A and B are shown apart, each in its own frame.
Chain A
Amino acid sequence: MKKRILKFVIIFIFLILILFVNAESCCEKTINNQYCVEASQEECSGNVAYEERACRYTTFCRRGTCINLDEGSCSRDTEKALCLSKSGASWDERDRDEIAVCQKGCAIFGTKTAFVTEIQAKELAMDYGISYDFREDLNNERECTSLVISKDVGACVERKDYETDCKNYVLREECSGENFEFYSGLLCTADELEGVDCAPNSKETMCYEEGTSTKVYFKDTCGNRANVYDASMFLGNKNGNPKEQKEYWTYIKEPSCIVDSSGNCGDCDYIGGSVCGEATTPNPKYGNSVCQSMSCEYHGKTYEHGESWCADSPGTYPHLPMKLVYNPANLDLTQKEIDNIAKVREELENTDKYNIPGSRYYKLVCWDGEVKPYECMDYRQEICVEEEIVSGFTHAECVANDYLSCSDITNNEQCESTTNMCRWVQGYRVDRKNVNEKAYKNEPYNEEEQGTCVPLIPPGIDFWNPESNGQNYCTLAGSIVEIAQYETHWMGDSIDVSPSRADVRDKYLEKTNRCYSSCYAIPGYGVNFVGDENYKNEIEPLIRDVGSKNRDLEDLKKFTKAKNSELGISQIEGNLFISDRRGYYCEGATGEIWGDEIKCSIIAGKNTNQNEKKIRKAPIFWTNEEWFNSITTKTGALGDCGYKENIVGDSEGSILSEYITSEWSKVNKKGAPTGSSTEYKIWDGSGWIKENFENYLSENTGIFRVGGEPNMTTCVDEDGYTYYPDSNGECNDD
Chain B
Amino acid sequence: MKTKRGQVTIFIIIAVVVVAFIALAYMVYPKIKSNFQTETKNPQAFISECVEDELNEYVDLISKQGGSLDPKLYLPYAGYNTSYLCHTPENYLSCAPKKPFLQKDIEDELTRTITPQVEACFNSLQLNYEGKGYDVQMVPGKIKIKLLPKKIIGTFDYKVTLTKDGTETYNLFNIMLDNNLYELIKISDIIVEWAIVYGKIDPISIMAAYSYIDVKREYPTWGDVIYILKDKEVGGEFRVLTRSFAYPPVPS
Contacts and interface: CB of A to CB of B under 8 A. Distances in A.
Interface of A: 32-34, 36-38, 54, 56, 63, 66, 68, 71, 73, 75-79, 82-83, 86, 89, 127-128, 141, 145, 212, 270-271, 306, 308, 365, 367, 372, 374-375, 377-379, 381, 397, 403-404, 407, 459, 461-462, 468-470, 473, 639
Contacts of B202: 397
B104 A459 contact: no
Nearest to B153: A127
B249 A68 contact: no
A76 B197 CA distance: 10
Give 9 closest A-B pairs by Cβ, nearest first: A75-B100, A66-B100, A469-B250, A78-B100, A34-B72, A77-B196, A470-B250, A473-B250, A79-B96
Contacts of A83: 100
A73 B208 contact: no
Given A381-B247, A470-B250, 5 more contacts: A77-B97, A89-B101, A367-B207, A378-B219, A404-B251
B249 A379 contact: yes
Interface in B233-252: 247-252
B141 to A, nearest CB: 19
B172 to A, nearest CB: 14
Contact of B101 (A37, A38, A75, A212): A75
Contacts of B73: 34, 37
9 contacts: A36-B96, A37-B73, A63-B96, A127-B148, A128-B148, A375-B218, A377-B219, A379-B249, A468-B250
B43 interface: no
A78 B72 contact: no
B100 A82 contact: yes
B96 A374 contact: no
Given A33-B72, A83-B100, A375-B219, A461 B204 contact: no
Interface residues of B, number: 35
Greatest chain A CB density within 10 A among B98, B211, B217 is at: B211
A636 to B, nearest CB: 15
Interface in B189-222: 193, 196, 202-204, 207-209, 211, 216-219, 222
Contacts of B146: 127
A367 B212 CA distance: 12
B83 to A, nearest CB: 11
A86 B101 contact: yes
Contacts of B251: 403-404, 407, 459, 469, 473, 639
B249 A468 contact: yes
Contacts of B248: 469
Main secondary structure of the interface of B (DSSP, over half): loop
B94 interface: yes
A36 B103 CA distance: 21
Nearest to A378: B219
Nearest to A142: B209
A403 B251 CA distance: 9
B89 interface: yes
B52 to A, nearest CB: 21
Given A34-B72, A127-B146, A462-B250, A306 B193 contact: no
Contact of B100 (A86, A308, A407, A469): A86
A616 to B, nearest CB: 34
A91 to B, nearest CB: 10
Given A34-B73, A89-B101, A367-B204, A462 B211 contact: no
Given A473-B250, A473-B251, A76 B72 contact: no
Interface of B: 72-73, 89-90, 93-94, 96-98, 100-101, 103-104, 146, 148, 193, 196, 202-204, 207-209, 211, 216-219, 222, 247-252
Greatest chain A CB density within 10 A among B100, B104, B218 is at: B100
Contact of B97 (A32, A56, A75, A271): A75
B203 A77 contact: no
A407 B251 CA distance: 10
Contacts of B96: 36, 56, 63, 77-79, 82
Greatest chain A CB density within 10 A among B196, B207, B249 is at: B249
Contacts of A367: 204, 207
B205 to A, nearest CB: 11
A162 to B, nearest CB: 30
Nearest to B104: A71
Nearest to A471: B250
Contacts of A71: 101, 103-104
Contacts of A141: 209
Given A459-B250, A468-B249, A473-B250, A306 B90 contact: no
B250 A54 contact: no
Contacts of B249: 379, 381, 461-462, 468-470
A77 B219 contact: no
B116 to A, nearest CB: 21
Contacts of B193: 76
Contacts of A75: 97, 100-101
A409 to B, nearest CB: 14
Contacts of A79: 96
Given A127-B148, A469-B250, A89 B100 contact: yes
Greatest chain A CB density within 10 A among B94, B216, B219 is at: B219
A145 B186 CA distance: 15
A77 B97 CA distance: 7
Nearest to A112: B149
A688 to B, nearest CB: 31
B204 A365 contact: yes
Contacts of B222: 378
Contacts of B204: 306, 308, 365, 367
A208 B217 CA distance: 30
Contacts of A34: 72-73
A6 B207 CA distance: 64
Contacts of A397: 202
A378 B220 CA distance: 10
Contacts of B100: 66, 68, 75, 78, 82-83, 86, 89
B216 to A, nearest CB: 8
A5 to B, nearest CB: 30
A68 B219 contact: no
Contacts of B97: 66, 75-78
A63 to B, nearest CB: 6
B98 A374 contact: no
Contact of B250 (A270, A372, A639): A639
A54 B97 CA distance: 16
A83 B99 CA distance: 9
